Each structure stands twice: as C-alpha cells, then as structure tokens.
A and B are shown apart, each in its own frame.
Chain A
Amino acid sequence: MRLIEKLPQVFKPIISVLVGLSLGLLVTKIAGEDPWNVLGILVRGAFGSRYDFGMTLFYTTPLIFTGLSVAFAFHSGLFNIGAEGQLAMGALALAAAGIQFPNVPAFLAPVFGILVAVLGGGIWGAIPGWLRARRGSHEVINTIMMNFIAAGLSSWVTLYLLRNPHSQNPETDSVGAHYLIRQFSFFDGAPVSMAFFLALFAVFVVWFILWKTVLGFEIRAVGQSESAARSAGIDAAKMRMIAMAISGGLAGMVGVGEIMGNAERFRVGFSPGYGFTGIAVALLARNRPFAIIASALLFGALHKGASDLDLETENVTRDLALILQALVILCVSAEGVWEVLGDRLKILSKKKWFNPAVSVEVSEDQASGLKTKV
C-alpha cells in the first residue's frame, strides 16, 4: 500500500527525464540526424560493451560523491557550489600523502588514503561553513572563491613541489604502490575499482546519518527552518559547519577513484567539472541519497556516450550531451509546472469533458477559487 502511494513520487522525475531526453533528441532532428540513431549511439556508447559500461561506471563514481556532497549541504539549507574545489583538495591531499608516505603497510594504506582524501575535502568545505556560521558571509560566494583558490593551489603544489620530472603533462609523481586499489578485470581495462563500491557505501552512510541519527535530524531541522530549530535548542551554526565539513569530505572522496583506482597520481585538471555536474545530480535526485545513484548513472552515461557522438555522426557533437543535461534539469526543475498543469486539467475535466454531471455543479466562482488555491 505504501509503495503504491509513493509511486507518483518516483515516476515524476522519471517522466521529467524522459521528456527532457525527447526534447534533446528532437534537437538532433533539427540538426539533420535520425533521433533514434542518436539515441542508439548514446546507449551503445555508454553500455555497449564491458569496457563502455566500465567507463560509464567510472564516470558515475565521482558523480555519486559530488551529488551526495551537494545534497548533504542542501539538507542543512546550504548551497555548496564548491564541490569542484573540495574534490581537488581531497585528491591533492591523497596524492601528497601517497608520495610522502609510500611505505604505509599495504593493509592500512587504502584506508589511510581514504581518510586523507576525506580530510582534505572536509577542511576545504569546513572553511566556508565556518565563515557562514560565524561571520554570516554567504556560502555560495565563498565556495566559488574557494574553487579558484583550490585550482591555483593544486596546480602550484603539483608543479613546484610534487612534479613528475619524466612527463610533459602537469602531474605529480606516482603514489606508493600500496595505495593502489585493484581494478576489476571484468570491465576489460576500464578503470573501475573498489571506489565504486565505496561510493555505494557512502550513499548508505549518508542516508543513515541524515535519517537515522540525532545529528542528521538536527541538520535537517536547521535546513527546513532555522528559527524553529533554534527555538528547539539546536545550535544552527554548529550544525551548518558540520554539514559543510561532511559535504566537503564526500567531495574529497572523488580522489580515491581517480588516484588510487586510476591515474596513480594527481593530474591538474583531471575533473571535467564533476563538482558542478554534482549539483545537477543532486537536483535530479531531489537530494535523496539512493536516488543519487540512478541520477549519477544517467549523467555518467551521458558523459561517456557523448564522445561517441562525435565519432558516429556527421552533424551532432559531444556538445549534445550538454544540451541533453540542460534539458533534463530544466524539465526536472519545471516539475512544479507539471503539477499546476495537472490540477488545471483536473478542473477543466470536471467542468466539461469527462464528467458533465459534476460540471453543472461547479460554478465559475468555485472554479476560480480552486485555481487560486493551486
């Protein structure tokens, strides 16, 4: 019974996504391609082979982390645009630790690495959290600024302190061998590692913290109404600082998949905007931890499938994936409109088509009364 009640909740975003994708594919029709063919390329590009599927999961992993990061901050009423900087700092901290302490015992190194990444991102997230809580400066501005600082700082550290002398590319030396986590051979060489399962575990942990602990309750209370939370004796400033620190720590874990599971080193500019796409991921999932898995998978698949568009079609390029993302987000955020439209339709139907018997009884005044209620 409960499941049936919840069904529309689940369906609305799915319908929004489908509408957004269809609109996007219509755009390809205008560009002179067969939309079904484009859809086929996107699906094959993302799921066509073990390797393709692996790459999709590889892109999904960081998006789960950043999606969780943004969602967690949202629940405390803060808008964290700084996941991009936090993930860079987490990854950089992990790389630095991996280079400085290559001899950490093999059973300890991965755990140590994860902790360092969480700490790096967490500190970077806690700073704007503290500024907001104690100084009242707005977190949107501060997190954006922290992104720039992180970009500059990480390039500087990479190039002047930890540079790989054997490469032209701006990257650090490789981390100690103990830090590397195994890639699954099932995916035919795609860099899918335990980091993916770490992401799934993080989803569970975030859900548990937010809905099963006092801390989570207090964070959500602050997010829904600060004044109400405060009069209930909750320290709102403290909750927000904690929320931002955890949010930053979640973003920092992107470094685990990238460094321990893939590149073995920090590469300047490794992230194609995971932190910003994470905002879209959280938005689409309506900040629900478990929905973030599906939403991250969608965006990961779009990112992977996109590069095949260049290869397989004449008129459509990878930029279509960006258009698709934008349209999906538009349709999801336009959900309010769907609801209003739905109610209007109900009123209209009562007036005319489906139920003429009722329409006689509903006067014009009553109908407009209903409208204003909507």
Chain B
Amino acid sequence: MNIFFQLSRTSRALLLSFSFLIAQGAFASQKIKIGLVLDKGGKDDKSFNSSAYQGAMRVKDELKSFVKYVEATDDNAFESILRSFAQKKTFDLIISIGVSQVDALKKVSLLFPKQNFAIVDGVVDSPNVRSLIFQEQEGSYLVGAIAGLTAIPDASGFIKVGFIGGMDIPLIRRFELGFAAGAEVEAKRNHHKIKVISNYVGITADSWNNPAKAKELAMSQYDSGVQVIFSAAGASNAGLFDAAEEKKKFAIGVDSNQNWVKPGRVLTSMVKRVDEAVYQTCKDVSESKFIGGTHHFGLADKGVDYTVDEFNRALLPPAVIARVEELRKEIISGKVQVPDYYKNRK
C-alpha cells in the first residue's frame, strides 16, 4: 500500500514536471495552490497563527502561488474545512496550524491519500502528511541564558527571572523548562544564586488572549524583584510588554520577533519560525520534493532562535552575545543537553 502511494506520487510528480517542461521549457518551480487552516486564534494573533500566515504570504509573493486561508469557527469545524479543501482536488498542499487539528487531520489524510498535508506542532503519522515540530526548549534555553547573564543580583544576592505561560499545556511547559535550565546554568556559572518564578495565564484557550491577566502576573513578578520575564502566551504577551514599560524592567518576546513592540524594554525574542517551516514545505511542494514524515526544526536549522536587531542591540553586551553563540554551538554539537519536557515527563 505504502509503496503504491509512493509510486503514484512520484509518477504524478514526474508527469507534472514533464508537462511543465513542455509548457515552459525550463526547470522552474511550479505555481502552486496552498490551503491554510488556522486555529481559532486567527491570523491576527501577532504570534503563532500570524507567523504561519506570514510564511504563507511569503509563499504567495516569492513563489507566485495562490494562498487561501480559513479560520476555524469551533473544534468540530476543522474536519469539515479540511475536507472542503481536499475535495477541491486543486490544492497542492493543505496546512493545518496547531495541535488541536491532529485528530481531524488523522481522519481526513486517510480519506484523501493523494492529497499532500502538513501540520505544525502536532504529529500525524501518514505518508501524505508532513509534521512540523519545533525544538522550543533549545531556543528557550538560549533566551534563558540571556536572562541569567544580563539580570543583576538583588540585595540578598539572588538573580530573579520570571516565566509566564499562556495555557498550561505540555508544549508551553517545554518552553518553561528550557528557559529555566538556561537561566540557572548561566547564573550559577557566574556564582549567583537564582530564582525562577513561573506563572500561567490560565488553563483554557482564552489564556492565549488575555493580556490583562498576563499584565497582572507580570506586575506582581516585577514587584517581587524579577528583572526579566520570558512569556510564551500568544496574544496575551501584550500585557507583559505594558508591565515591562511601566516598571522599567525587561521582557522577552515569543514566536514572532517582538523586539519592536516596546523598543528598549524587550531584551530579545525567542522566535519559532513557523513561517520558515511553512515556506520550506511549500517550496518543497513547488519543486516536487515533498515527502511525509516528521521534520524537527531546532537551533541547527534556525527553526528556533533568538533575535538581535536595531531595537535591542544596545541592551545586549557583546560578551553576552559571544557566550550565547558559544552555547548555540554546544547545543547543536550535543555538548550541552537541554532538558525536554516531553521526554522528562513520567
């Protein structure tokens, strides 16, 4: 069965590229049609979904492709939207954004074995689905190190850094664990005692969109002596930035590069290049190189990273950056082991 799929896909790809050769007389990438199914947060969440949307827009511009996106109305709508896309049979790739679409995609990918799918943040084990997984803990470790290196110890000799998560799910615990590990190791290397304070906005999907609560948490963390807070909370991050500005302390952004939001107050951003993953996958499709399976995006391929730009360059001393770059190499080479919440669980 599997081999049959592979064969039929290759032959189709061959056929396509062959006909294209005749039409264009050159080895150019084809114009493709992309369907994008966004999570309930929608394309304007300034974070996860909007990163995916930007990736798709880049595909539209640079690969001259057609992109259609749909935002889901409720959890039961994912399956019907995916089916509507697949039934058209004209889309070269359909991308599911977010872990809540895993069950729906499992079903639909079996119903349409010839349709290419991709999913971000979740794993669907079908030959026609590419699962795009990020090593969030690696990027979080680096921004944790930045926090641990830049914060100044208080009167009692403690460095205090904070973490604010959006919804309390394993995925976000993964950010937290990486961040805490990075901060602790670097602070201890400089012989400082360290405290990592951690809070979550909530336990429901509203947590991604509750800046007021995030601000409240950030204010109380800053009041207790925390100097840098890393927040992985989607659209709730806006509350953290407001608090950092009011208290004249520092924040670390997430997912998209958020340094510009409050220049001078955002130390750096832990970017998760959903846009890059989306773009790469689309590019593979346009070059008929698409294959299923799970793809990990980590520090090595810049799937996760920290950002330095004109808004935060003054905040980061060269020594800090030099140390973090050293850490990057050590993580990639495996010399530094970053704890992974997924593996540490149980």
Residue B220 at the chain A interface, CB threshold 8 Å: no
Residue A318 at the chain B interface, CB threshold 8 Å: yes
Size bracket, chain B contacts: 20 to 34
Bound state CA distance, A362 and B73, in angstroms?
Answer: 57
Within 8 A of B (CB), among A219-254: none
B163 to chain A, nearest CB (A): 18
Given contacts A169-B99, A307-B73, contact A268 B81 (CB under 8 A): no
Specify which chain B residues have a CB less than 8 angstroms from the CB of A168 in the assembled complex.
99-100, 122, 169-171
| Stretch of B22-30, B50-58, B64-72, B319-327 at the chain-chain interface | B64-72
- CB pair B75–A269 under 8 Å, yes or no, is yes
From the candidates A155, A189, A190, A271, name the one contacting B204 in the complex (CB within 8 A): A155
Q: Which residue of A lies closest to B99 (CB)?
A: A168
Main secondary structure, interface of A, reads: helix
- CB pair A311–B169 under 8 Å, yes or no, is no
Residue B213 at the chain A interface, CB threshold 8 Å: no
Residue B167 at the chain A interface, CB threshold 8 Å: yes
Residue B76 at the chain A interface, CB threshold 8 Å: yes
Number of A-B residue pairs having CB atoms within 8 Å of each other in the complex: 69
Specify which chain B residues have a CB less than 8 angstroms from the CB of A169 in the assembled complex.
99-100, 169
Given contacts A170-B204, A189-B107, contact A318 B171 (CB under 8 A): no
B38 to chain A, nearest CB (A): 10
Specify which chain B residues have a CB less than 8 angstroms from the CB of A189 in the assembled complex.
107, 111
Bound state CA distance, A262 and B167, in angstroms?
Answer: 25
Bound state CA distance, A304 and B77, in angstroms?
Answer: 8
Residue B80 at the chain A interface, CB threshold 8 Å: yes
Indicate with 1 or 0, residue by residue over A359-373, a CB within 8 angstroms of chain B CB atoms. Answer: 000000000000000
Residue B84 at the chain A interface, CB threshold 8 Å: yes
- CB pair A268–B72 under 8 Å, yes or no, is no
Specify which chain A residues have a CB less than 8 angstroms from the CB of B100 in the assembled complex.
168-169
Indicate with 1 or 0, residue by residue over A127-151, a CB within 8 angstroms of chain B CB atoms. Answer: 0000000000000000000000001
Specify which chain B residues have a CB less than 8 angstroms from the CB of A270 in the assembled complex.
74-76
From the candidates A58, A155, A306, name the one contacting B73 in the complex (CB within 8 A): A306
Indicate with 1 or 0, residue by residue over B92-126, a CB within 8 angstroms of chain A CB atoms. Answer: 00000001100000010001000000000010000
Bound state CA distance, A268 and B169, in angstroms?
Answer: 13
B344 to chain A, nearest CB (A): 14
Residue B197 at the chain A interface, CB threshold 8 Å: no
Bound state CA distance, A318 and B84, in angstroms?
Answer: 14
Bound state CA distance, A270 and B100, in angstroms?
Answer: 12
Specify which chain A residues have a CB less than 8 angstroms from the CB of B111 in the assembled complex.
189
Residue A351 at the chain B interface, CB threshold 8 Å: no
Within 8 A of B (CB), among A263-303: 267-272, 303
Indicate with 1 or 0, residue by residue over A178-208, a CB within 8 angstroms of chain B CB atoms. Answer: 0000000000011100000000000000000
Bound state CA distance, A303 and B73, in angstroms?
Answer: 9
- CB pair B167–A311 under 8 Å, yes or no, is no
Specify which chain B residues have a CB less than 8 angstroms from the CB of A58 in the assembled complex.
76
B52 to chain A, nearest CB (A): 16
Bound state CA distance, A189 and B104, in angstroms?
Answer: 11
Within 8 A of A (CB), among B193-232: 203-205
- CB pair B205–A262 under 8 Å, yes or no, is no
B39 to chain A, nearest CB (A): 11
Size bracket, chain A contacts: 20 to 34
- CB pair A310–B71 under 8 Å, yes or no, is yes
Q: Which residue of A lies closest to B80 (CB)?
A: A55
Given contacts A170-B167, A311-B84, contact A191 B204 (CB under 8 A): no
Specify which chain A residues have a CB less than 8 angstroms from the CB of B203 in the assembled complex.
155-156, 159, 170, 268
Residue B168 at the chain A interface, CB threshold 8 Å: yes
Residue A33 at the chain B interface, CB threshold 8 Å: no
Bound state CA distance, A170 and B72, in angstroms?
Answer: 17
Given contacts A304-B80, A318-B73, contact A170 B205 (CB under 8 A): yes
Bound state CA distance, A303 and B77, in angstroms?
Answer: 10
Specify which chain B residues have a CB less than 8 angstroms from the CB of A269 in the assembled complex.
75, 204-205
Specify which chain B residues have a CB less than 8 angstroms from the CB of A65 in the assembled complex.
none
Specify which chain A residues have a CB less than 8 angstroms from the CB of B84 in the assembled complex.
45, 307-308, 311
Residue B83 at the chain A interface, CB threshold 8 Å: yes
- CB pair A267–B80 under 8 Å, yes or no, is no
Bound state CA distance, A270 and B34, in angstroms?
Answer: 28
Q: Which residue of A lies closest to B87 (CB)?
A: A49
Specify which chain A residues have a CB less than 8 angstroms from the CB of B74 in the assembled complex.
270-272
Within 8 A of B (CB), among A39-55: 45, 51-52, 55
Residue B48 at the chain A interface, CB threshold 8 Å: no
Specify which chain A residues have a CB less than 8 angstroms from the CB of B85 in the assembled complex.
311
Specify which chain B residues have a CB less than 8 angstroms from the CB of A262 in the assembled complex.
76
Indicate with 1 or 0, residue by residue over A90-122, a CB within 8 angstroms of chain B CB atoms. Answer: 000000000000000000000000000000000
Query: Could you jot down 25 A-B contacts, CB within 8 Å?
Result: A45-B84, A55-B76, A59-B76, A168-B100, A170-B204, A170-B205, A189-B107, A190-B80, A191-B76, A268-B203, A268-B204, A268-B205, A269-B75, A270-B75, A271-B74, A272-B73, A272-B74, A304-B80, A307-B80, A307-B81, A311-B35, A311-B68, A311-B81, A311-B84, A317-B71
User: B interface vs A, CB < 8 Å?
Assistant: 35, 68-77, 80-81, 83-85, 99-100, 107, 111, 122, 167-171, 203-205
Besides the contacts A169-B169, A267-B75, A311-B70, what 14 more A-B pairs have beta carbons closer than 8 Å?
A51-B80, A55-B80, A155-B203, A155-B204, A159-B203, A169-B99, A269-B75, A271-B74, A304-B80, A310-B71, A311-B68, A311-B81, A318-B71, A318-B73
The 7 A-B residue pairs with the shortest CB-CB distance, nearest first, are A272-B74, A310-B70, A168-B99, A159-B203, A168-B169, A155-B204, A55-B80
